[in-house]
Structure formats: structure tokens, C-alpha cells
Amino acid sequence: MKSRLVSLLRCPACRGALRLDEPGAAKREIISGSLECVACGKRYAVEGGVPRLLTASAREIERRWTASRFGYLWSQSPAGTPATTESYHFEKLEAAVALPPARGTILDAGCGEGRDLANVARRTGVEVIGVELSDGGVVTSYARTHDLPNAHVVQGDLRAIPLADESFDLVYSYGVVHHLTPPQAAIREMARVARRGATVVIYVYEDFTTRALAMRAGLRTVNSVRGMTTRLPPRLLLRLCQLASPLVYATFTVPHLALRRVPGLRSVAGALPFRHGKGPFSLGGDLYDRFSAPVELRFSREGTADLLRQAGLVDVRTGYERGWVAAGVKPEA
């Protein structure tokens, strides 16, 4: 943990400021140590370079189960800082809702394995903080970004973001809030930490209400299978998803690649799921994402926009990118 991060950290229990619990630590990077809340006295560990700012909640069992499922996947991601920036989720958010160039202090709300965190940190004029719930996620994110001077990792729950009010010029979250209950709590927290005039942008799964009957039936079938797969051990489920990847690639990605070349069928090609596959064995992680999470909420375009409006955001706009992307602005006053 880079020492300058401390001024932005807040106690997840009472939002009090935190202080380092050892003299002289403010002048160096902290790999291990502790933080104390100046208001309520609660103490939090710094482990492996990451402040662990979690507190008990009424949804503790759900939180731990969700974190363990995704944490296992993130822990399988190759560690180490990539040599070059690779397009990932943040670039899709930018394109879907025409975000202005990222500048200033940025929050990656639910940074997962840290690929977006690393990518955004390589941009000029930014400081990026990733908040992640899972142990596997924060370990991999820290390994991927610890050599980047403007990237930070914090372990925390998006429903109680352990960061100061109105601190960020941009807040984004890709594919996270639809795994939380209630999602509105996370978006209110994202709005709280955004500065006046800052943009908050999210991506969530679509509910298929406007899709063809066959697509809606397919989603119902997947949801019925999830009742079993969410109970499988993570290692076994990931292996099954990796084995299923070539079949899914052949069923959806290959037809997409063929149909998009036919002018009259491009809309059909664009509606196929898993059209983004990069090879027969590239979809294991996506399948695991869909079949592992104990909570999976889905939204219409208007429902997605309403999530932001309910958090007090204005000028809400939406876009589509294998699901709904919505961006809103925190009012100036």
C-alpha cells in the first residue's frame, strides 16, 4: 500500500478517517501493518500490500460465498504486470456511452483480477484505485499493479466503499453490481465517492425481455442449471467450463463470425451470445462467470438507467455492449 493512499481511506463501519498504527510508515510503502479508525477505534490489517477494509454485515454469508467463487477465478489469472496495455472492459464502457478521456482520480469499483486497473493506470494524468471484495482478486490485482506508481488496491465491499466522500473524477464498475443485493446500495456508494460533476458508469446483464422467444427460453434453461452449478466446488466448475468452451465457441462464436459477413444477417450475428470468443478455449472464464455466482440479476435498458437515477445521478445515457451500459453525472449542487 502506497502511503499517500491513507488520506483517502475510511472506516467501512463509521466512515471515520484511518491512520497508520506505526511511526514513520507514512514515508514508505506498507506491505504489512495496521490501520486504526480515529472515530470508532476499529482496527484493520494491511496484508500483502493491501488494506483489508471489510466489516461484518447482515449479508455476510452471501458476501463470503460470492467472494470465494470469483476469488478463485481471479486467483487463476496470470500474475505480474503486463508489458503492454491490452484492451479490456473499460474500453468497452468508453465506446458504449462515449465517455470523455479519463483524467484525475478514478475508482475501479470491483477490480477483479486488475486488468482494467493496470490498463487505466498506464494513461497519462490519472490515479486509479481498485476496490475488490475477494482475497483472490486483491492478491492478483496487487501483483499486477504494484510496480505502477499511480495504481492502488483496496479490499472492500461496494455496499460500504471504504473511501472518502467526493474523491473521484470518474467511477466505473463492469459486471459487478448485478451480483450484489441490493445493487442500489452499491451504486449509491459509487455516487457518494464521486465528485460533483463526475461520471459514474456501470455495466449489467440484460434481461432479454426484448429478445426472441428462443433466446428467452435459452436464458431460462441456463438459470435452471445455475441452481446446481453454483453449488459445485470452484475448481471442478472451472474445469467443466473450460471443457465446455470449445462447444460454446462452435455453437455461437463461429456462426457469429460467418453471419456477420452477410449484410442481411448482421443483426442476427450481433444478437448471438458468446460472439466475443477469441478461440475454442477462450470462453472458460466467461462460462464460469455465468454459472458460479450465487446472485445474478438482470435488467432492461430502462431498469439500468433507473439504477443510476435512484442514486441521484442525472443526464443518464445508455448503450449496449453484450449487456447494458449506463452513465450518469453527479449533480453540481
pLDDT in tens, 184-242: 999 999 999 999 999 999 999 999 888 888 888 888 888 889 889 999 999 999 999 99
Query: How would residue 26 be classed by pLDDT, with cut points 50, 70 and 90?
Result: low
Q: How far is CA 211 from CA 82, 92, 268, 270, 271, in A?
A: 38, 22, 11, 12, 8
For residue 148, which of 165, 124, 164 has the smallest C-alpha distance? 124
Region 169-187: mean pLDDT is 95
| Site of grid cell 490501520 | 35
User: For the chain, which residues make up each domain, given as ranges?
Assistant: 1-53, 59-230+293-333, 231-292
| Burial of 127 (C-beta count, 10 Å sphere; 0-12/13-18/19+) | buried
Task: Tell me what pLDDT residue 80 has.
Answer: 55
> Positive or negative, the Cα torsion across 62, 41, 161, 106?
negative
Are the C-beta atoms of residues 186 and 158 closer than 8 Å to each other? yes
Class of domain 59-230+293-333: alpha beta
Cα dihedral: 67, 73, 75, 81 (round 10): -110
pTM for the whole structure: 0.89
Which has more confidence, 85 or 16? 16
Say if residue 6's pLDDT is above 80: yes
Region 28-48: mean pLDDT is 92
